[in-house]
A = this chain, B = another copy of it.
């Protein structure tokens, strides 16, 4: 999923997301020319408001076209036709979904209020929320540095995440290495499958993402008046199906249309898989290969035994990790949405695969979410609002634990200020999911880039733990007490220690250990081989040893067992902090009515980078003792503040602090001096003010900032203050 998308279907998912973004923006851009560039910013607002009946009417036939193929796919699956036929139908289904989406975009009413991304980005840059890394060295695409504002906001989001998940759900938080040996990522599947398709300019070696190359070519051709209509039709189909293309499909298109490097005009290579992990080596010899972790999850899996022990052997439990992940994107664009280095928050909730109920599910069952189920996607229908309890009852969401986390994720996103109307949970279609996953829902947030996946919540079954078990021989399992004892057939290969010891000497110990590890199936096979050929080969620590007939005795017996070992299933919510932060900033961007130049961020106090401003009404030095007292009160409660004693008018200074999303403003004025000292406190969103004692200001702003107290409550407690001079 995003960051998130588990790679097995990843190169695929990536191109899907990225190409659909590009499509939307490029489409508008090219159709209308750059003068109309701002139109593309309207998409978000449009989609937000799009439920109008006129629009729905126009979309109805397209929805029906999607449904037709959705139904077809279902019936093919039901009848168990060959996979290839299903895939073909799914490709057509997706093509129709895409046409539906494009039509939605084309229907944007011209008069909807729009989001001004240029002004927005200006403000972010100017107040150093974040900016390109190493800009004085020319910059590096896909790398960003967070300035004081962005860094504080990110810290606040992470602290809140920790409270909301780790603390409130009693999770075990860990902090594991970024450097990860190749063997670990080989077992997890990343070394073999975490890649995108790329083509190279055959003369100068320049690299392009294969799907981007095709997309750009096809779009250009479709816009060209000279392109024959039948070719346009073909290329439109290519564009619609591109997401599902493998290397051969893409190569065929490149050959058929003779697509060249757009820069040099040289021929390009066949698509080659480019692994998205950053390689390095540990230690001086150069032969200990490692990668920067592409996700934090693996650190949790390899610590499973320690964590289970820490939890006194009991399931379920959840572990969490907050940290950096790295992905060597071929050509990242789109700001914080697609980056090479990012902060993730991941949870791995370990649970009995036969009982995925959640003890706190009852508390959330009536909580309503906007769900865009696989079924609705296949029917061309819209997302629908539903309580999570109903969704579970209807088997739309696979299990309670998954459902519980969807609610917790939603609550978290609400707490940090995501607009609830621009948040939906989209279920993966069967062929989008990793082969081992049971169910997966992405929390998607609507921004001017379109719907972007910000949190993935997947039931990953027992894939990860069993993979690492296979690779290491360590049993990463939990144990449960059976409700009643069970009789099991035991089969053991008992070594003839004397005979083996005589032949294999020091190696004998390893052979004994290996024999103990063998599964029942392996023993049966070994036995069969010995019976038929008189001896058998045993793979033992990189060597093969030969076991003669009399080296082992196979023993079979029945045993009553009271406990059972099993691989826990893993439910994984995985958050991309950068993407979420970008979305919150976009949703919080405002222009003061009647003064478009006065832009600001209406951030929730809990995520605001700085909690309050501290402004003397004038630069008079007599205010300094009161200012000092306020600062000391704020420090006592660890409240961040920005003092602005410049000579600008109070209104101008308020505007400046509003711009960076400072929710509260403390002003020291001439009234402040009467004992006991008081100050005024202003809330930036409503611009209302109250007056309170200096000795109360630290605790009050701390409570307001942590949202233990609302502004309304503060207004109940403290007298309203009306400024004479407006602003």
Q: Which residues of A come within 8 Å of B, CB atoms?
A: 127-128, 131, 133-137, 140-141, 143-148, 150-152, 154-155, 159, 162-163, 167-168, 172-181, 183-184, 198, 205-207, 274, 278-285, 288, 292, 299, 302-303, 305-307, 309-310, 324, 326, 328, 330-331, 340-341, 468, 471-472, 474, 476, 635-636, 638, 640, 706, 708
Contacts and interface: CB of A to CB of B under 8 A. Distances in A.
A615 to B, nearest CB: 15
Given A472-B137, A636-B708, A205 B285 contact: yes
Interface centre among A159, A179, A328 (most CB of B within 10 A): A179
A468 B136 CA distance: 9
B174 A147 contact: yes
A140 B174 contact: no
Contacts of A137: 181, 183-184, 302, 471-472
Contact of A181 (B140, B281, B326): B140
Best-buried of A140, A152, A288 by chain B (most CB within 10 Å): A140
A177 B283 contact: no
A133 B296 CA distance: 13
A135 B309 CA distance: 15
Pairs A-B, 10 closest by C-beta atoms = A146-B175, A207-B284, A148-B172, A145-B176, A133-B177, A151-B175, A143-B177, A136-B474, A136-B472, A278-B280
A167 B136 CA distance: 28
B145 A174 contact: yes
Given A175-B150, A341-B179, A184 B134 contact: yes
Contacts of A476: 136
A303 B167 contact: no
Contacts of A183: 137
A151 B166 CA distance: 12
A148 B310 contact: yes
Contacts of A143: 177, 179
Each complex incorporates copies of this chain amounting to 2
Contact of A306 (B128, B326, B468): B128
A640 B167 contact: yes
A179 B284 contact: no
A177 B282 contact: no
Given A278-B282, A281-B328, 19 more contacts: A131-B306, A133-B177, A134-B181, A137-B181, A143-B179, A145-B176, A145-B303, A146-B175, A148-B174, A150-B175, A151-B174, A163-B638, A179-B326, A179-B340, A279-B280, A280-B280, A280-B292, A284-B330, A638-B706
A654 to B, nearest CB: 17
A205 B179 CA distance: 23
A688 B127 CA distance: 51
Nearest to A304: B136
A134 B175 CA distance: 13
Given A173-B151, A175-B150, A207-B285, A638 B133 contact: no
Given A310-B128, A326-B179, A341-B179, A299 B638 contact: no
B284 A144 contact: no
A173 B281 CA distance: 31
A255 to B, nearest CB: 21
A104 B599 CA distance: 67
Contacts of A274: 284
Contact of A136 (B150, B205, B302): B302
B282 A140 contact: yes
Contacts of A178: 178, 324, 326, 341
Nearest to A143: B177
A165 to B, nearest CB: 12
Contacts of A144: 177
9 contacts: A137-B181, A141-B283, A143-B177, A145-B303, A155-B162, A159-B159, A179-B326, A179-B341, A283-B331
Contact of A145 (B141, B177, B198): B177
Contact of A134 (B198, B278, B302, B340): B302
A148 B179 CA distance: 20
Contacts of A128: 306-307, 309-310
A599 to B, nearest CB: 18
A300 to B, nearest CB: 9
Interface centre among A131, A180, A284, A299 (most CB of B within 10 A): A284
A364 to B, nearest CB: 16
Nearest to A171: B148
Contacts of A180: 134
A131 to B, nearest CB: 7
B303 A147 contact: yes
A190 to B, nearest CB: 14
Contacts of A279: 280-281
Contacts of A127: 310
Nearest to A324: B178
Given A133-B176, A180-B134, A468-B136, A147 B307 contact: yes
Given A340-B282, A341-B179, A299 B145 contact: yes
A170 to B, nearest CB: 8
A218 to B, nearest CB: 22
A469 to B, nearest CB: 9
B282 A167 contact: no
A321 to B, nearest CB: 8
A167 B306 contact: no
A288 B281 CA distance: 17
Contacts of A136: 302, 305, 468, 472, 474, 476
A175 B283 contact: no
Nearest to A127: B310
A198 B341 contact: no
Contact of A147 (B131, B184, B278, B306): B306
Contacts of A152: 173
A134 to B, nearest CB: 6
Contacts of A134: 177, 180-181, 184, 302
A658 to B, nearest CB: 17
A307 B303 CA distance: 40
A340 to B, nearest CB: 7
